[in-house]
Amino acid sequence: MRTLCTEHLALAKDIQLDANQFSNKTTIDVTFYSENFLFLNIFFPEISYTITEQQVAYDILDLIGDIGGSMGLLIGGSIVSL
């Protein structure tokens, strides 16, 4: 367990050293920002939104009831015609 922590600590120190070296090599000044970044103002004339909701038009229980009713009607008509 102890060696695992020291390995991670050594790795973290290496990463920190690399980050510091990169930071020392790069210089960013005002001209860099003015040449490479863009300020964008977005204007919305009206801040509103529309809520759209969906509702179930035909429930599974309604379907089962309609199928059962149709079957009852057809079976009843068949029995009467005998």
**Rounded Cα distance, 70 and 13, in Å:** 77
Residues 35-75: pLDDT tens digits?
A: 888 888 888 788 888 889 998 888 999 999 999 999 998 88
pLDDT at 4: 61
Percent of the chain surpassing pLDDT 90 = 18
**Rounded Cα distance, 82 and 79, in Å:** 5
Strands (E), the chain: none
Give the three-class secondary structure for 43: coil
